[in-house]
C-alpha cells in the first residue's frame, strides 16, 4: 500500500471535516492501530460526519446507533425470538453487527446499556443467552459523547473509557474553514457520499504494516516512564497496562502515517494526550488534559 493512498484518504476526509487535519490523522491512526475511538465535543462539531466519512473511505459496512435514556441492551445487540414453525428461539442480530458502529451520544444511555458494548469492544463478539456470536472483522466502535456538564448525560465508567484507545475533541473550526462552510451551496445536513479509497484487504495490510514499526529499548523505556509518571502524579489512578499497549500501538500508527518505519519520541508525544486524557481524569476533561501535559513536560526521553 503506497503512502500516496494514505494521503488521499486524509485529503478526502479533510473535505468532510474542514480545517482539522490533526484530528483526522489521529482518528485514522486509531483505526490503523486497531483501536476504538471516543469523540467528545459539543453537538454540531462534525463528529458524525467524520465517522461516516472514515467508514466510506475505508469501505466498511456502517451503522449509526442513536443512544437515548430509554434504550435497552437488546436494542444494540439483538434478541432471540421464539419461532413457532421451527419450535426454537432464533437470534435476530442487532445493529452492532457492522464493521464500523457509531455509538452516537453514548453517554445519554444508562450505564446498563453502555455496558452492552464492553464485550464487543474487548473481544469482537457478543454473548446472548449463553451463545457467543462473532462480530464482523474488522470491527470498530466510534462513540461520540456530549460534555458531561450538559443535562441528561450518564458519565461513562472507567472500565468503559479504558476500552477506547483514543479520545478526540474536534473543537470549533477556524475562521477560514467556517467561512468555506458558509459558502457551500449544499446546506443540507446529510453526510457527503465519499468514494472508497481502499479495500478491506488493503486495510488489513495497512494494519500489518503498523505492527512492523520498530521501537528501540530506549523508546520503550520512555513509554514506560510516561505510564509510571501518570500513576505517581495521579495518586495511583494512572494508565493501565492496556493503556501502555494502546500508547505504543497508537505511536506506531502515527509513525506510519508520517512515513517512518521506526518510532521516535515525537510520535509518542503526538498521541499521548489522546490516549491518556480520558483514562486519567477524575472529574473533568480539562483536568485530564492538564495532567497529561504535565506528565509530558516532566518526563524527558533519554535516547
Domain ranges (residues) in the chain: 1-209, 213-302
> Cis peptide leading into 294, omega within 30 of 0?
no
CA–CA dist 41, 50 (Å, integer): 13
Q: When comparing pLDDT for 179 and 212, which is higher?
A: 212
The DSSP letter of residue 116 is G
Q: What is the pLDDT of residues 109-142, one digit of tens each?
A: 888 888 889 899 999 999 888 889 999 989 999 9
Q: Is residue 17 pLDDT above 90, yes or no?
A: no
CATH architecture of the domain formed by 213-302 = Orthogonal Bundle (1.10)
Q: How confident is the model at residue 164 (pLDDT cuts 50, 70, 90)?
A: very high
The number of helices, as runs of H, and strands, as runs of E, in the chain is 13, 9
State the DSSP H helix or E strand holding residue 136, giving kind and residue range, or none if neither: none
Q: Which CATH class is domain 1-209?
A: alpha beta
For the stretch 239-262, pLDDT in tens is 889 999 999 999 999 999 999 999
Q: Which DSSP string do the residues of 145-175 spell out, in sequence order?
A: E--TTSTT--PPPHHHHTT-SEEE---PPPH
> Per-residue confidence at 236, pLDDT binned at 50, 70, 90?
low
Strands (E), the chain: 37-40, 62-66, 78-83, 88-93, 100-104, 125-128, 131-134, 140-145, 166-168
Range name among 130-144, 146-160, 214-228 with the lowest pLDDT average: 146-160
What is the tens place of the pLDDT at every residue in 67-79? 988 999 999 999 8
Lowest mean pLDDT among 155-159, 171-175, 189-193, 294-298: 189-193
- Is 50 exceeded by the pLDDT of residue 189? no
Which pLDDT score, from 0 to 100, does residue 155 have? Answer: 79
Residue that is written with C-alpha cell 465508567 in the block: 157
**Confidence (pLDDT) at 191:** 57
Amino acid at each position: 500500500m503506497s503512502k500516496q493512498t494514505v494521503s488521499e484518504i486524509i485529503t478526502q476526509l479533510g473535505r468532510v471535516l474542514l480545517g482539522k487535519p490533526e484530528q483526522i490523522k489521529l482518528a485514522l491512526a486509531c483505526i490503523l492501530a486497531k483501536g476504538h475511538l471516543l469523540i467528545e465535543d459539543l453537538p454540531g462539531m462534525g463528529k458524525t460526519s467524520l465517522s461516516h466519512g472514515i467508514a466510506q473511505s475505508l469501505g466498511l459496512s456502517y451503522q449509526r446507533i442513536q443512544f437515548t435514556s430509554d434504550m435497552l441492551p437488546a436494542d444494540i445487540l439483538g434478541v432471540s425470538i421464539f419461532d413457532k414453525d421451527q419450535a426454537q428461539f432464533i437470534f435476530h442480530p442487532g445493529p452492532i453487527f457492522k464493521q464500523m458502529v457509531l455509538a452516537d451520544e453514548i453517554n445519554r444511555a444508562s450505564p446498563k446499556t453502555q455496558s452492552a458494548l464492553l464485550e464487543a469492544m474487548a473481544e469482537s463478539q457478543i454473548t446472548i443467552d449463553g451463545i457467543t456470536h462473532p462480530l464482523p472483522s474488522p470491527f470498530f466502535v466510534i462513540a461520540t459523547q456530549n460534555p458531561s456538564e450538559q443535562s441528561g448525560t450518564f458519565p461513562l465508567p472507567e472500565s468503559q473509557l479504558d476500552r477506547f484507545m483514543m479520545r478526540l475533541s474536534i473543537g470549533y473550526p477556524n475562521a477560514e474553514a467556517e467561512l468555506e462552510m458558509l459558502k457551500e451551496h449544499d446546506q443540507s445536513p446529510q453526510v457527503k457520499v465519499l468514494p472508497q479509497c481502499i479495500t478491506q484487504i488493503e486495510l488489513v495490510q495497512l494494519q500489518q504494516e503498523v505492527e512492523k514499526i520498530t521501537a528501540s529499548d530506549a523508546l520503550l523505556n520512555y513509554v514506560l516512564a510516561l505510564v509510571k509518571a501518570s500513576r505517581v502524579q495521579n495518586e495511583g489512578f494512572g494508565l493501565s497496562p492496556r493503556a501502555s499497549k494502546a500508547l505504543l500501538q497508537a505511536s506506531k500508527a502515527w509513525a506510519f502515517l508520517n512515513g517512518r518505519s521506526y518510532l521516535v519520541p515525537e510520535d509518542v508525544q503526538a498521541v499521548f494526550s489522546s490516549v491518556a486524557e480520558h483514562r486519567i481524569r477524575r472529574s473533568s476533561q480539562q483536568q485530564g488534559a492538564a495532567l497529561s501535559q504535565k506528565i509530558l513536560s516532566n518526563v524527558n526521553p533519554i535516547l
